[in-house]
């Protein structure tokens, strides 16, 4: 489903004035796998909130911006974002199987977005990576790179394979969750290349996204030699409570996906209804730290607006003291480190 009319025809309760204007402004996309997870009559259903358009998207606030994480400030050639010394983003496509209502690149993705790199642009992007020996990792993002066919993914990997200094290729994708049937043996094998280690960052925000088909896709990737990490966005009304967030992180780990990033929501236009305060995010990750296995801990990060990169937001458990540090344990009790000795207490 790619329009308000198609959603209405499918029985989604969307009799809200102004929704056509949302569809004119931002791409809409809901796959059958996602539609099956949505309660069509409840706009506050956490799956509906993520994918079904709302009139609130027409309200932009002064701090919101078209390029909230500052990709354009660090783009030396089309399709490349070189923000940190040792890694680049390679944005080969700007289409996705679904369009998340909170997307941080919503001004760039979709049918009216930046499109797919032309062959000449892709040549220039690969040449840039080859010329910059400090690039250890290439992160394929977009858009969703797994909308590309296995043939095109293999072609991309074969072009990266001879570049000696690139050791890691990471894909950022929602496909294993929102279109799991795409993850077949041909795709998994296309993601691997000789001399490179492939990581895939699975984007999921609610434990209901771990369907049987998604779990099959995760298993196929892991067993095909692809290492999995997670990425989620902390979203009001979707996962901003301990129980949901805990089930999400445990769900990742149970599926052999190491929790990696929990993003503070970016200042993308028309996304104020998803925003959670930094204090609430800090409180939630402190609760995760206190109550869940170390395997289930994501890094809670903010992409600093303007292209200044990611910074961890969790409150530190350690503070400088007169001698050494004061360190809080998982129950909130504070301890001196190093511990005082009998001599130091005299």
In the annotation, is 105 catalytic?
yes
Measure the CA–CA gap between 232 and 290, rounded to whole angstroms.
Answer: 20
Looking at 4, 103, 191, 248, which residue binds ligand SF4 (CB under 6 A)? 103
Stretch that binds ligand SF4, among 96-104, 239-247, 276-284, 296-304 (CB under 6 A): 96-104
In the annotation, is 296 catalytic?
no
Please work out, in degrees rounded to the nearest 5, the angle formed at the alpha carbon of residue 66 by the alpha carbons of 63 and 68.
Answer: 65
Looking at 67, 144, 179, 266, which residue binds ligand SF4 (CB under 6 A)? 144
- Pairing type for strands 318-320 and 325-328 reads antiparallel
What region, left, alpha or beta, does residue 319 occupy, with left being phi > 0 and alpha being psi -120 to 50 degrees? beta
Contact between 204 and ligand SF4 (CB under 6 A)?
no
Other CB atoms within 10 Å distance of the CB of residue 215: 16
Stretch that binds ligand SF4, among 36-44, 142-150, 218-226, 313-321 (CB under 6 A): 142-150
Given 26, 45, 100, 154, which residue is catalytic? 100
The answer to whether 56 and 272 have CB atoms below 8 angstroms apart is: yes
The answer to whether 214 and 256 have CB atoms below 8 angstroms apart is: no
Task: Give the shortest CB-256-to-ligand SF4 separation in angstroms.
Answer: 22
Which residues lie below 8 Å from residue 82, measured CB to CB, with a gap of 6+?
A: 74, 75, 76, 88, 89, 128, 132, 135
In the annotation, is 266 catalytic?
yes
What phi and psi, each to the nearest 5 degrees, are found at residue 227?
Answer: -80, 135
In the annotation, is 241 catalytic?
no
Looking at the Cβ atoms of 30 and 190, the one nearer to ligand SF4 is 30
What phi and psi, each to the nearest 5 degrees, are found at residue 61?
Answer: -105, 160
Looking at 105, 196, 206, 263, which residue binds ligand SF4 (CB under 6 A)? 105
Total residues contacting ligand SF4 (rule CB under 6 A)?
10
In the annotation, is 84 catalytic?
yes
Task: Give the shortest CB-93-to-ligand SF4 separation in angstroms.
Answer: 10
Residues serving a catalytic function are 83-84, 87, 96, 100, 103, 105, 266, 303, 310
């Amino acid at each position: 489903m790619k329009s308000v009319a198609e959603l209405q025809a499918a029985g989604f309760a969307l009799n809200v004035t102004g929704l056509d204007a949302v569809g004119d402004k931002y791409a809409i996309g809901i796959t059958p796998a996602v539609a099956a997870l949505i309660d069509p009559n409840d706009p506050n259903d956490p799956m509906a909130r993520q994918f079904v358009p709302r009139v609130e998207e027409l309200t932009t606030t002064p701090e919101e911006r078209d390029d909230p994480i500052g990709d354009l400030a660090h783009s030396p050639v089309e399709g490349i974002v070189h923000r940190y010394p040792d890694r680049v983003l390679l944005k080969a496509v700007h289409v996705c199987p679904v369009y998340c209502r909170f997307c941080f690149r919503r001004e760039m993705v979709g049918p009216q977005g930046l499109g797919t790199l032309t062959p000449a642009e892709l040549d220039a992007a690969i040449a840039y990576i080859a010329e910059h020996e400090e690039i250890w990792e290439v992160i394929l993002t977009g858009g969703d790179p797994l909308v590309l066919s296995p043939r095109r993914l293999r072609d991309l990997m074969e072009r990266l394979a001879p570049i000696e200094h690139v050791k890691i290729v990471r894909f950022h994708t929602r496909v294993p969750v929102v279109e799991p049937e795409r993850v077949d043996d041909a795709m998994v094998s296309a993601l691997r290349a000789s001399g490179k280690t492939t990581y895939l960052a699975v984007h999921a925000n609610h434990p209901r996204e771990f369907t049987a088909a998604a779990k099959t896709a995760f298993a196929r990737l892991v067993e095909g030699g692809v290492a999995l990490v997670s990425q989620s966005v902390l979203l009001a009304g979707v996962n901003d409570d301990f129980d949901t967030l805990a089930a999400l992180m445990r769900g990742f780990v149970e599926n052999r996906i190491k929790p990696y990033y929990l993003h503070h929501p970016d200042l993308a236009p028309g996304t104020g209804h998803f925003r959670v305060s930094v204090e609430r995010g800090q409180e939630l990750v402190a609760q995760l730290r206190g109550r869940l296995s170390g395997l289930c801990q994501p890094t809670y990060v903010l992409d600093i607006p303007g292209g200044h990169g990611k910074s961890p937001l969790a409150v530190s458990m350690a503070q400088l003291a007169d001698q050494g540090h004061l360190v809080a344990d998982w129950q909130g009790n504070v301890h001196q480190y190093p511990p005082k000795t009998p001599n130091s207490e005299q």
